[in-house]
Amino acid sequence: MAGSHQIFRTLERATLDAGAALSRVSQPWMFDRADWFELAAKHTPEGKPLIIKARDGGSACWLFLNQNDHSAHALSNWYCLRYGIVTEGPEPPYGQLVDGLRAAGVSHIRLAPTAMEDGFVSALHRRGWLTKREPINVSWRIDTSEMSFDEYWAARPSRLRNTAKRKAKSAKLDFAIGQSIDATNWAHVCEVFENSWKKPDGTPALTYDLFNRAAEARTLRIGLAFHEGQAVAAQLWTIEGGVAIIHLLSYREDAKKLGAGTVLSYQMFKHAIDEEGVRLIDFGLGDHAYKREWMEYCVPLYCLTAYHIFSFSGLISIVKMVGRKLSNLRSRA
């Protein structure tokens, strides 16, 4: 069967057509699912939804975008650890996906944060697109397969281990790790972040909606540290399919000396490794120094920008890009 593409202008039609292919059962990565894209569209409506589906034989792929005139960007938000083309089957028909972009009137795309996406980039080149791929971030990770927490902890830097031991002994903290959200524990989370050095990205409504959905799916792990009855540190993880993702963590600034963030992390890592047997822990976006102490390696993430060189609007976008670069060079001179 010859490859083909379809264009959808609403998420509802795209997900109805896809059926189970975009469900939790078929897509292990939470940012590749229909419910994730529905959440992104609900809370970050920047443009009109554009979903392109390509199929060739037993393989298919989808590109979820927000479109503004001839430009389109990733349908996503601040919490996405890696935006990618959703695939089904062994050989995704990237060429038909690129054909769908032109059929939808798109001549400029921006996707971030992405992994390499080499097959898609090659398909863009073959069909007359100029691409630019720039590193913009990293994701720190550690493989914990067949590893006990004691083994994991013994491999951490001595400074981290000594700090955690000292603070755990002196701070006299209590801990709670749960899978559900209720009025009480969510109030504790909000209180910690309101008094923290680190504010959650996005809006409170988006934050609650995302993690409430995770709680309903039983993938949420909400960790709290208390000192004399007051919540002083909070963390929001998801654990699914053997993969733990650390989405949010913070502590009260006025309780910094307690080291509650470090000691709560100790408890969360121990729970994830020993109690839930996770095989991979992802510390989310950012090349923060403290993440290196807990993790083992980092994965680069990119911004992929592409312009169709055989369209007027694509050429205009290229001219604007070159103009911005020249302007930046002049400002540095």
pLDDT in tens, 160-178: 999 999 999 999 999 999 9
pLDDT tens, 275-290?
Answer: 999 999 999 999 999 9
- Which domains, from first to last, does the chain contain? 4-138+300-332 (3.40.630), 145-278 (3.40.630.30)
* Residue 2 scores a pLDDT above 70: no
Confidence of residue 333 (pLDDT cuts 50, 70, 90): low
Length of the chain: 333
Please, which residues have CB within 8 angstroms of residue 266's CB and are 6 or more apart in sequence? 153, 164, 168
- What is the DSSP track for 155-173? TS-HHHHHHHHHHHHHH--
pLDDT of residue 81: 94
Question: Mean pLDDT for the chain?
Answer: 92
Which H/E stretch holds residue 7? strand 4-8
Confidence of residue 1 (pLDDT cuts 50, 70, 90): very low
Q: Express as a percent the part of the chain with pLDDT over 70.
A: 91
pLDDT of residue 321: 60
Sign of CA dihedral 87, 93, 94, 96: negative
Confidence of residue 198 (pLDDT cuts 50, 70, 90): confident
Taking the C-alpha atoms of 20, 97, 206 and 30 in order, what is their torsion angle to the nearest 10 degrees?
50
pLDDT of residue 313: 61
With beta carbons less than 8 A apart as the criterion, state whether 119 and 98 touch: no
pLDDT tens, 116-126?
Answer: 789 999 999 99
Confidence of residue 3 (pLDDT cuts 50, 70, 90): confident
pLDDT tens, 37-90?
Answer: 999 999 977 889 999 999 999 999 999 999 999 999 999 988 999 999 999 999
Q: What pairs with residue 133 in β-bridges?
A: 304
Mean pLDDT on 17-40: 96
pLDDT tens, 304-313?
Answer: 999 999 665 6
pLDDT of residue 197: 79
Which H/E stretch holds residue 249? strand 243-251
pLDDT of residue 47: 86
Confidence of residue 130 (pLDDT cuts 50, 70, 90): very high
Q: What is the rounded CA–CA span in Å between residue 274 and residue 270?
A: 6
pLDDT of residue 325: 56
Please, which residues have CB within 8 angstroms of residue 208's CB and are 6 or more apart in sequence? 181, 186
* Residue 314 scores a pLDDT above 90: no
Of 4-18, 172-186, 195-209, 250-264, the poorest mean pLDDT is in 195-209
* Residue 332 scores a pLDDT above 90: no
pLDDT of residue 175: 97
Confidence of residue 327 (pLDDT cuts 50, 70, 90): low
